Amino acid sequence: MPNTTVLLVTEESLAGFIATALIATGMSQSDADRISRLMAEADAIGSDGHGVFRLDQYVRRIQAGGINTHPNIRIAQERTAMAVLDGDNGMGHLVMSRATDLAITKAKKSGIAWVGARFSNHAGPASLYARMPLAHNMIGLYVAVGSANHLPPWGGTEMLLSTNPIAIAIPSKSMPPIVLDMATTVAAYGKVKTKAQRGEAMPEGWMIDRHGKPLTDATRADEGFLLPIGGPKGYGLALMFGLLAGTLNGAAFGNDVVDFNADDTSITNTGHFIVALDIAAFTDVNSFKSEVDDIWSTMKSSSLLPGFDEIRLPGERLAKVATQRRTNGIPIHGTLQTVLNRLAKELNILPLT
C-alpha cells in the first residue's frame, strides 16, 4: 500500500537531516552545510524534483565513488571578466556556489562576469544560482548541461541532448524578483521523475516514444524522449546552451554526457556557467528596480484571454510557495519519506521529522 501521508518539515530541519546524511558519507561539516542549505532551499522554493528528492541518488553515487567528497576546486582559466573552474568532480552545489561567488566578485569590478565550470556534477535547480547575485543588486543568468540526455535533435531519435536549462533572475523594488527557471524541453526530466515517484500520469506533449507517439506513463520514461519547446527552436537552444555550458568549458556534451540516473560511478564532467551583471554599471539601481516593479504591475493588471484567471510573472509562484512553505513547512510526500527513512537507517542517522 503506498504511503499517502505528507510530512511537513522546516527548512532548517530538512537542511540538518541532509547535512547529517552527507557527513555520514565522509564529507566535511562545512561542505555538507553549504550543500544542505542549497538543497533545502530548493525544496523551500518549490523545486520538488531537485532538492532532498535527489539525496538518495547523491549518497548512492558518493558511496559508489562517483563523486569526490573532498574536491580541490580550482580556477583553471581566468581573465578579468571570466573564469573556468575545475570542480574536481565535487558536488555541483559546491562548484557552482563557488563559481557564482567568483562571478559576483568579478562583476563588481568589470560590470559583468561569466564563470564556467567543468568536472562539476548535478547542482539542483538552476534558479538557486541565478538568484544568488540578487543580494548584491546584480542580475544572474545560469545555464547547465543536464545530467542525462533525454532529448534528440529535432527530427531524430538519438538522445544526444539534455533539457539544458536556463535561469535568469532580475531584482525588483517592492515585488518579488522576476525569476525565470526553465528547461528547453516542455517538461524538465526532474518533473517526470517526480510524477513517476508519485504514481501520477504525465500530460500529453511532455514526451513521445520512439515511434513519435505520445508517452504519458512516467514509469515508462526510459522508452521515449522529451519534446523541446517550439520544436526546432527548443532543440536549437538546448544545442547552443550545451556548447556554451559544456564544450566551451571542457565539460561533457552530446555523446559524452553520463546518465547519472543509470550510472553511479563514471565521472559526469558536468558543465555549467553563471553570468553576473552589476546593475550599477548600467544605470541607477533604485530606478531600475522601480521600473521592474512597473513592468510587473503592467503585466499583472493587463486584460485576460478567455479561459485564464490571472497573468503570472516568472518567479511569482516561487515567491508564493517559498512564503507558504517557510510558514507552514515543506511537504515530504509518502514515497519520498519511505526512501529517506531507509536511507537514514542505512547511514545510521536519525530519520527526518
Q: Which of residues 208-267 bind a second copy (CB under 8 A)?
A: 211-212, 229-230, 232-234, 236-237, 239-240, 242-244, 247-250, 253-255
Contact 277, 138 (CB under 8 A): yes
**Which residue lies nearer to a second copy by CB, 285 or 347?**
285
Q: What is the DSSP letter of 131?
A: H
Q: Nearer to a second copy by C-beta: 293 or 346?
A: 293
Residue with Cβ nearer a second copy (109 or 220): 109
Residues 47-76 that bind a second copy (CB under 8 A): none
**What is the distance, to the nearest Å, from the Cα of residue 53 to the centroid of all Cα atoms in its chain?**
12
Phi then psi dihedrals of residue 88, to 5 deg:
50, 35
Among 64, 75, 299, 350, binds a second copy (CB under 8 A): 299
Smallest separation (angstroms) from a second copy to the CB of 43: 22
Please report, for residues 36, 52, 69, 346, 348, the alpha-carbon distance to residue 72 in angstroms, rounded to integers and kept in the order given: 19, 25, 10, 28, 28
User: Which residue's CB is nearer to a second copy, number 267 or number 285?
Assistant: 285
Q: How many residues at the interface with a second copy, by CB under 8 A?
A: 75
Q: Which residue has the cell 515517484?
A: 197
Q: Which of residues 88-127 bind a second copy (CB under 8 A)?
A: 109-114, 116
Smallest gap from residue 25 Cβ to a second copy (A): 33
Among 303, 327, 348, 353, binds a second copy (CB under 8 A): 303
Which one of 56-64, 216-224, 276-284, 342-350 is the stretch in contact with a second copy (CB under 8 A)?
A: 276-284
| Residue 320 is a binding residue for a second copy (CB under 8 A) | no
Least Cβ distance, residue 79 to a second copy (angstroms): 3
Distances (CA, A) of 217 to 148, 196, 203: 19, 8, 9
Q: Which of residues 153-182 bind a second copy (CB under 8 A)?
A: 153-158, 160, 168, 170, 178, 180, 182
Q: Which residues inside 122-151 make contact with a second copy, applying CB under 8 A?
A: 139
DSSP annotation string for 237-302 = HHHHHHHHHTGGGT---GGG---TTT-SSS---EEEEEEEEEHHHHS-HHHHHHHHHHHHHHHHTS
CA dihedral sign, ordered 322, 128, 172, 135: positive
Joined together, the cell numbers standing for residue 217 give: 506513463
Of 157 and 216, CB closest to a second copy: 157
- Looking at the Cβ atoms of 33 and 293, the one nearer to a second copy is 293
Applying CB under 8 A, the span of 28-36, 53-61, 284-292, 342-350 interacting with a second copy comes to 284-292
Name the residue nearer to a second copy (CB basis): 21 or 279: 279
Edge-first strand listing for the sheet containing 112-120: 74-79, 82-86, 112-120, 270-278, 138-144, 166-170, 178-182
Whether 195 contacts 316, CB under 8 Å: no
Query: Which parts of 190-209 interact with a second copy (CB under 8 A)?
Result: none
Judged by CB, which is closer to a second copy: 108, or 198? 108
Please state, in angstroms and rounded to a whole number, the distance separating the CA atoms of residues 113 and 301.
35
